[in-house]
C-alpha cells in the first residue's frame, strides 16, 4: 500500500542528507529560516548533557531557593556558596542562556521562566540530585548498551531489580530509593487522584506503594476510604512511622511481601499500580496483573499510573529518558497505553479506558475492570486504542 507519510519521509531525508541541497537551501531566506530552526533543535540535542549539568550545579548550590526572595548580585551568590566569583559568573551565564535565570535591569540575577517553577519543588529537585548515578552510567553510552541491562550505578540504587529474593532486602538497601520515590510522589499523586473518583471507592490497595505517600494523599481526598499498602517488608517498615506521623496509623493496613509470590490482600474494590508496572519485564508484569486481578473483588477496578511510550508532545520522557533509565536499572521498559491495555486484557481485565491527566509527561492513567457487579464502574475516560 502506498503511504504518504513514508513517501514524504523518503523525499525529505534524501534532501536533508545531501550537502549540496543544504548549501543551495542556505541561499534562500526560507531555507535559512528552516536551517536556523533545525540547527537550534539539533544543538539542544548535542548540548543536552551540558544543560543538565548546569542545572545540577545550580541545584547543588541551592540557587533557586537563594533567589526565591528576589534578585541577588552574582558576587553575593558566590560569597554565600563559596564558589569563585568568576566561576559563579560562568554558571549564571549558562543558566541565563537556558532560561533558569534572568538578569535584572540593575545587573543582579533573578529567577527565569524555567527556574521559578523549581522553587519549593522538592519532587523535581530530588530527581535532579539523583541524576548523578544515571549520568555516570551514561558517560559511556555504548558500554551501557553493549552489556546486559543493569550492572552500573543506577542498578545499585534499585536492588529489587534482578534480585531473586527481594523480600529479603534490608532497610539500608531500600532507604535511598524509597526516599526518592516519597519525595517525587506528589508529582504523580495529584494527577491520579484527579483522574478517577476515589471518593466512590471503599477499599483501596496500593501495590508497590513505597512508604505510603500516595495513600496519604488518597486519605485526604477520600476520608471514608479503607487503605492498604503492599510493598517489600523493609519498605513497609519505613512506611509505618511516616503514616503514624501523618495521623494515619489506624487507617492504613500494612502488608509486607513479594508481590510476585506472596498473597495479596483480597476483596479490594480498587487497586493502584503507581510507577510500578514499567519496572518489570513482560512475564513479571503480566504475572503481577494476574495476581492483582485475582485479589480484586468482582467489579473491582485497577488503575495503572506511569509515564507511557508514544505520549504526544512528551516522547522524550518515556521513550528516551525513562526507557534508557530502566535499561540502566536492569529490568523493565516503558510501554504504550495500547501495550499496557493488551497486558491488562491478557490478565483478565476488561473495559480498559484511559483517564486523562493534567500532565501526561509525568503520568498517564489506565483504568481496567474485573468482571462483576460494582458501584465503582465509571464511564469517564477515553478508549486506549
Ligand atoms: C505568570 C505568567 C506570565 C504566565 C503564567 C502562564 C502559566 C499559567 C504557566 C504555567 C506555570 C506552571 C503551572 C508551571 C508548571 C510547571 C511544571 C508542572 C513543571 C514540571 C516539571 C516536571 C519535571 C521536570 C519532571 C521530571 C521528572 C523526572 C526527571 C522523572 C524521573 C523519574 C524517575 C527517575 C523514576 C524512577 C522510578 C522507576 C525506577 C522508573 O520506577
Ligand atoms: C518505582 S517504586 C514506586 C513506588 C511508589 N508506587 C511511588 O510511585 O512512589 C516501585 C516500588 O515497587 C516495590 N517493589 C518492587 N518489587 C517488588 C516486589 N517483588 N514485591 C513488592 N514490592 C516490590 C519497590 O519496593 C518500590 O517501592
List, for the chain, all residue ranges whose pLDDT scores fall below the cut of 50.
378-385
Which domains are present in the chain? 25-118 (1.10.10.10), 141-383 (3.40.50.150)
Ligand with smallest separation from the Cα of 279: 1
CA angle at residue 251 from 165 to 191, to 5 degrees? 75
From the alpha carbon of 235, which atom of ligand 2 is closest?
A: 25
Residue 343: CB partners within 8 Å, gap ≥ 6? Answer: 277, 282, 285, 286, 289, 335
Rounded to the nearest 10 degrees, how much is the dihedral formed by the CA atoms of 162, 164, 166, 172? -70
CA-closest residue to ligand 1 atom 31 = 127
CA-closest residue to ligand 1 atom 19 = 117
**For ligand 2, mutation pick of 210, 254, 289, 304 (most atoms within 8 Å of CB):** 210
Catalytic residue among 196, 255, 278, 280: 278
Among 158, 163, 166, 123, CA closest to 137: 158
- Residue 336's pLDDT is 98
Residue 50 three-state SS: helix
- Residue 376's pLDDT is 52
Ligand with smallest separation from the Cα of 123: 1
Grid cell listed for 253: 493496613
- Residue 374's pLDDT is 64
- This model of the complex carries an ipTM of 0.96
CA-closest residue to ligand 2 atom 14 = 208
CA-closest residue to ligand 1 atom 23 = 124
Contact 272, 215 (CB under 8 A): no
From the alpha carbon of 161, which atom of ligand 1 is closest?
A: 39
Residue that the C-alpha cell 540535542 belongs to: 45
208 CA distance to ligand 2 middle (Å): 4
The per-residue DSSP string of 255-303 comes to: EES-TTTSPPPP-EEEEEEES-GGGS-HHHHHHHHHHHHHHEEEEEEEE
Residue 274: strand pairing partners: 305
Query: Using CA atoms, how far apart are residues 385 and 380, in angstroms rounded to an integer?
Result: 16
| Whether 278 is catalytic | yes
- Residue 372's pLDDT is 86
From the alpha carbon of 276, which atom of ligand 1 is closest?
A: 41
124 CA distance to ligand 1 middle (Å): 7
11 CA distance to ligand 1 middle (Å): 37
313 CA distance to ligand 1 middle (Å): 14
pLDDT digits (tens, 9 = 90+) for 93-120: 999 999 999 999 999 999 999 999 999 9
CA-closest residue to ligand 2 atom 27 = 210
204 CA distance to ligand 2 middle (Å): 16
Ligand with smallest separation from the Cα of 314: 1
Q: How many CB atoms lie within 10 A of CB 65?
A: 13
Quick one: angle between helices 213-221 and 186-195, nearest 10? 40
Amino acid at each position: 500500500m502506498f503511504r504518504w507519510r513514508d513517501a514524504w519521509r523518503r523525499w525529505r531525508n534524501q534532501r536533508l542528507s545531501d550537502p549540496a541541497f543544504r548549501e543551495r537551501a542556505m541561499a534562500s531566506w526560507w531555507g535559512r529560516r528552516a536551517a536556523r530552526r533545525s540547527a537550534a533543535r539539533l544543538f539542544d540535542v548535542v548540548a543536552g548533557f551540558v544543560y543538565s549539568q548546569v542545572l545540577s550545579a545550580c541545584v547543588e548550590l541551592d540557587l533557586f531557593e537563594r533567589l526565591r526572595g528576589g534578585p541577588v548580585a552574582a558576587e553575593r551568590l558566590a560569597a554565600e556558596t563559596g564558589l569563585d566569583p568568576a566561576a559563579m559568573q560562568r554558571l549564571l551565564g549558562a543558566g541565563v542562556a537556558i532560561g533558569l535565570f534572568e538578569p535584572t535591569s540593575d545587573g543582579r540575577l533573578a529567577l527565569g521562566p524555567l527556574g521559578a517553577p523549581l522553587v519549593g519543588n522538592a519532587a523535581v529537585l530530588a530527581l535532579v540530585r539523583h541524576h548523578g548515578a544515571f549520568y555516570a552510567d551514561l558517560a559511556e553510552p555504548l558500554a551501557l548498551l553493549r552489556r546486559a541491562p543493569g550492572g552500573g550505578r543506577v542498578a545499585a540504587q534499585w536492588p529489587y531489580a534482578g534480585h531473586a529474593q527481594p523480600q529479603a532486602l534490608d532497610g539500608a538497601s531500600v532507604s535511598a530509593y524509597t526516599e526518592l520515590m516519597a519525595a517525587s510522589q506528589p508529582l504523580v499523586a495529584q494527577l491520579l487522584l484527579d483522574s478517577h473518583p476515589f471518593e466512590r471507592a471503599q477499599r483501596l490497595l496500593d501495590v508497590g506503594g513505597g512508604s505510603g505517600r500516595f495513600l496519604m494523599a488518597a486519605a485526604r481526598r477520600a476520608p471514608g476510604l479503607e487503605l492498604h499498602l503492599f510493598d517489600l517488608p523493609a519498605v513497609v517498615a519505613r512506611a509505618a512511622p511516616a503514616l503514624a506521623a501523618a495521623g494515619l496509623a489506624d487507617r492504613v493496613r500494612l502488608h509486607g511481601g513479594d508481590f510476585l509470590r506472596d498473597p495479596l490482600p483480597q476483596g479490594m474494590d480498587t487497586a493502584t499500580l503507581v510507577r510500578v508496572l514499567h519496572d518489570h519485564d513482560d512475564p513479571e508484569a503480566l504475572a503481577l496483573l494476574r495476581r492483582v486481578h485475582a485479589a480484586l473483588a468482582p467489579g473491582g477496578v485497577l488503575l495503572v499510573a506511569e509515564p507511557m511510550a508514544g505520549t504526544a508532545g512528551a516522547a522524550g520522557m518515556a521513550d528516551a529518558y525513562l526507557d534508557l533509565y530502566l535499561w540502566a536499572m536492569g529490568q523493565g521498559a516503558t510501554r504504550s497505553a495500547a501495550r499496557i491495555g493488551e497486558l491488562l486484557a491478557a490478565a483478565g481485565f476488561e473495559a480498559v479506558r484511559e483517564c486523562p491527566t493534567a500532565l501526561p509527561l509525568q503520568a498517564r492513567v489506565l483504568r481496567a475492570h474485573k468482571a462483576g457487579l460494582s458501584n465503582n464502574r465509571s464511564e469517564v475516560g477515553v478508549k486506549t486504542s
